Amino acid sequence: MAPLLDLCDPALAERFDNRFVRELPADPLRRDVPRPVRNACYSRVEPAPVAAPRLLAWSDAVGALLGLARPASATAASVEVLAGNRVLPGMQPYAARYGGHQFGNWAGQLGDGRATTLVELIGADGRHHELQLKGAGRTPYSRHADGRAVLRSSLREFLCSEAMHHLGVPTTRALSLVATGEPVERDMFYDGNAKDEPGAIVCRVAPSFLRFGNFQIHGAHDETEELQRLADHAIAAHFPQLGAPSPEVYAQWFAEICRRTARMVAEWMRVGFVHGVMNTDNMSILGLTIDYGPYGWLERYDPDWTPNTTDAQMRRYCFGRQPAIAQWNLLRLAEALLPLIPNHADLEAGLREFGRTFAIASNRITADKLGLVAIDESDEALLDDLETLLPQAAVDMTLFYRRLADLPADQAADDLDDESLLAPLRCAFYEGDDAGARLLPWLRRYLDRVRLDTEPAAARRARMNRANPKYVPRNYLAQLAIDAAELGDTTVLERLMKVLEHPYDEQPEHEDLAARQPEWARNKAGCSALSCSS
């Protein structure tokens, strides 16, 4: 394995690439002033320097992936790059142009309003990785905003990006978290109570941050040439197995986007992740989870729950609607691609691939979570009843499924008393044993069903524990890390990151990080309710 290089090592420049900039049409103006942009895929920008950049956190795993060494100190020269204070030779920073449907309505031009892509770096794995600074200042797409980000949202993105990767969910990654030394004014809940918060910048990493909205903006403005050039670039760079672009290949490409999106959302549902703002500009064509804003983790099981205060009335992006919204978003992408795929039947076939792929993935995931060899029609009543009972029993989703593997499945249900059935699950009930008692008849039916399979108990339990994490980045844990970091203490974040590198392992010394949401966090800002403010 080649030695890791410092980001500022001149030898690293040999691995810089700028395919997006090189191959696609640019905005001819070079002014970081919010304005409409036409017939372009991006605008060249320069990140705005900050007062006192200081490294708060670094992902060794992502560093190794990229072939980058951890900065030598919290204020090393490489930290200046990660803060946007220094652009290295060979970097050609830009902000991407895109549009999108927000909460079901076309919002027009959006774009990277506070994100600046520094470069594509060929990593230690030989693949291209886009390094993007979020919170690096104004761009032509900032509209009325300042292009900055605050520590609370930046830390949450850094934490969750890496946690999702280790959970096995397709996601963008995060390399670093840097404090800017500057205050940023934010009205957290848009209620007139703006205040200064510490600023921060997260360096996000992905093969590409291309979204549905990158294609929608060209479709909305009849920019067919730019649309085709962007599609050709995406296929060549990220879907080369499809071959040279043609109407048939465009259709195959759309179908693959549908499949990847289905697999991603199925994994969200497996671990109880709620994105919170599934606008089309927050949907990756690579099937990666992007733009960690007002996300949350399903703690008390409620399919109608959303962490996003902006969505509190409509609940458009609640946990249970995520598959349907993903398909709706794909339909919007299909509309944008009509100039390239004029045969509606091809687009309809792609959309059917979403449903087919999601059904297969969901069926497999449900079987693994419940420890069943396979799911068939005879199991529908058992599954439907569980979906009804979990909210009634005020059950913590993560803990319930994790501890379900501890039930004494080697004994007949009739031979077990109520205490033996409920004991492994007590930690999952928010409202005590009375709520848990509602599940007793179902638990007996479940154990009878499990005994119909012939899988050895140890293999079944291991399979369940690979599907059901013990540790997830619950919002209250993230908030504890934020509170400490705002006081200059990053040890809470560091411990949480280490534990979340192995979310399926028992780690008994960190049992407190697997606990259900405490009562103090139930209505605390940042723990249950969040907004898009960052």
**Active site residues per annotation:** 281
Query: Distance between CA 226 and CA 235 in Å, rounded?
Result: 14
Task: Report whether 365 contacts 317 (CB < 8 A).
Answer: no
Helix locations, 69-140, DSSP H: 77-82
**What are the residues facing 115 on neighbouring strands?**
134
Query: Distance between CA 496 and CA 499 in Å, rounded?
Result: 5
Query: Distance between CA 375 and CA 360 in Å, rounded?
Result: 11
Given the structure tokens 């289905």, which residue do they identify? 262
**What are the residues facing 109 on neighbouring strands?**
99
In 3D, which of 426, 361, 435, 431 has the Cα closest to residue 393?
Answer: 435
DSSP H or E segment with residue 457: helix 457-467
Query: Distance between CA 213 and CA 503 in Å, rounded?
Result: 33
According to DSSP, residue 484 is labeled: H
156 CB neighbour count, 10 Å cutoff: 24
For the packed helices 322-336 and 344-370, what is the interaxial angle rounded to 10 degrees?
A: 160
Task: Report whether 111 contacts 36 (CB < 8 A).
Answer: no
Can you spell out the DSSP letters for 191-235? SS--EEEEEEEEEEEES---BHHHHHHHHHTT-HHHHHHHHHHHH
**What are the residues facing 116 on neighbouring strands?**
133
Q: Provide Rg for the chain, Cα atoms.
A: 24
DSSP H or E segment with residue 263: helix 247-271
Count helices and strands in the chain by DSSP H and E runs? 17, 12
DSSP H or E segment with residue 178: strand 173-186
Given the structure tokens 């997006």, which residue do they identify? 20
Query: Distance between CA 492 and CA 473 in Å, rounded?
Result: 12
According to DSSP, residue 368 is labeled: H
Beta strand ranges found along 294-343 (DSSP E): 296-297
Residue 95 CA to its chain's centroid (Å): 20
Query: Amino acid identity of 58?
Result: W
* Backbone angles phi and psi of 126, in degrees to 5: 80, 5
Given the structure tokens 């309003």, which residue do they identify? 113
Query: Distance between CA 389 and CA 376 in Å, rounded?
Result: 20
Query: Distance between CA 301 and CA 332 in Å, rounded?
Result: 30
